[in-house]
Amino acid sequence: MRRTELMMGVLLMRFEEANGGWRAGRLTQEEAARLLGVCARTFRRQLARYEEGGLNGLRDKRLGQVSHRNETKRGHP
Protein backbone atom coordinates (compact mmCIF):
# COMPACT_ATOMS: atom_id res chain seq x y z
CA MET A 1 0.00 0.00 0.00
CA ARG A 2 1.38 3.38 -0.98
CA ARG A 3 1.80 6.16 1.54
CA THR A 4 -0.92 8.29 -0.08
CA GLU A 5 -3.44 5.45 0.14
CA LEU A 6 -2.52 4.88 3.77
CA MET A 7 -2.94 8.57 4.57
CA MET A 8 -6.34 8.58 2.86
CA GLY A 9 -7.42 5.66 5.06
CA VAL A 10 -6.32 7.54 8.17
CA LEU A 11 -8.21 10.64 7.02
CA LEU A 12 -11.38 8.61 6.50
CA MET A 13 -11.14 7.06 9.97
CA ARG A 14 -10.54 10.46 11.56
CA PHE A 15 -13.50 11.90 9.65
CA GLU A 16 -15.77 9.11 10.89
CA GLU A 17 -14.75 9.88 14.48
CA ALA A 18 -15.23 13.64 14.10
CA ASN A 19 -18.52 13.22 12.25
CA GLY A 20 -19.80 10.80 14.89
CA GLY A 21 -18.91 13.24 17.66
CA TRP A 22 -20.60 16.09 15.85
CA ARG A 23 -23.78 14.10 15.11
CA ALA A 24 -23.96 12.91 18.74
CA GLY A 25 -23.73 16.51 19.91
CA ARG A 26 -20.41 16.03 21.69
CA LEU A 27 -18.57 18.35 19.28
CA THR A 28 -19.35 21.54 17.43
CA GLN A 29 -18.47 21.79 13.75
CA GLU A 30 -15.53 23.99 14.69
CA GLU A 31 -14.23 21.40 17.18
CA ALA A 32 -14.69 18.55 14.70
CA ALA A 33 -12.86 20.59 12.06
CA ARG A 34 -10.00 21.27 14.48
CA LEU A 35 -9.65 17.52 15.12
CA LEU A 36 -9.25 17.01 11.37
CA GLY A 37 -6.87 19.93 10.97
CA VAL A 38 -9.19 21.83 8.62
CA CYS A 39 -11.38 24.92 8.89
CA ALA A 40 -15.09 24.68 9.71
CA ARG A 41 -16.03 25.46 6.09
CA THR A 42 -13.95 22.52 4.82
CA PHE A 43 -15.60 20.26 7.40
CA ARG A 44 -19.03 21.34 6.12
CA ARG A 45 -17.92 20.61 2.55
CA GLN A 46 -16.71 17.18 3.62
CA LEU A 47 -20.06 16.57 5.35
CA ALA A 48 -21.88 17.36 2.10
CA ARG A 49 -19.61 15.02 0.12
CA TYR A 50 -20.08 12.32 2.77
CA GLU A 51 -23.87 12.66 2.72
CA GLU A 52 -23.88 12.45 -1.07
CA GLY A 53 -21.42 9.61 -1.59
CA GLY A 54 -20.56 8.05 1.77
CA LEU A 55 -16.90 7.43 2.57
CA ASN A 56 -16.15 6.96 -1.13
CA GLY A 57 -17.33 10.54 -1.67
CA LEU A 58 -14.46 11.71 0.52
CA ARG A 59 -11.75 9.80 -1.33
CA ASP A 60 -9.26 11.84 -3.31
CA LYS A 61 -10.25 11.29 -6.92
CA ARG A 62 -6.72 12.06 -8.09
CA LEU A 63 -5.41 8.85 -6.51
CA GLY A 64 -5.18 6.12 -9.08
CA GLN A 65 -5.10 8.46 -12.07
CA VAL A 66 -2.12 8.43 -14.38
CA SER A 67 0.10 11.48 -14.13
CA HIS A 68 -0.27 13.85 -17.07
CA ARG A 69 3.51 14.06 -17.12
CA ASN A 70 3.74 10.29 -17.65
CA GLU A 71 1.06 10.38 -20.37
CA THR A 72 3.07 12.99 -22.27
CA LYS A 73 6.24 10.89 -22.08
CA ARG A 74 4.43 7.86 -23.48
CA GLY A 75 2.89 9.84 -26.31
CA HIS A 76 6.16 11.47 -27.37
CA PRO A 77 9.20 9.20 -27.29
Q: Mean of the pLDDT values across residues 29-57? A: 91
Per-residue pLDDT, 6: 76
Exposure class string for 55-64: b at 16+ Cβ within 10 A, else e: eeebbeeeee
Q: What is the DSSP string of 38-70?
A: S-HHHHHHHHHHHHHHHHHHHS-TTTTSPPHHH
What angle separates helix 3-23 from helix 29-36, to the nearest 10 degrees?
Answer: 160
CA distance 9 to 4: 9
CA distance 45 to 28: 15
pLDDT at 77 over 60: no
Per-residue pLDDT, 11: 86
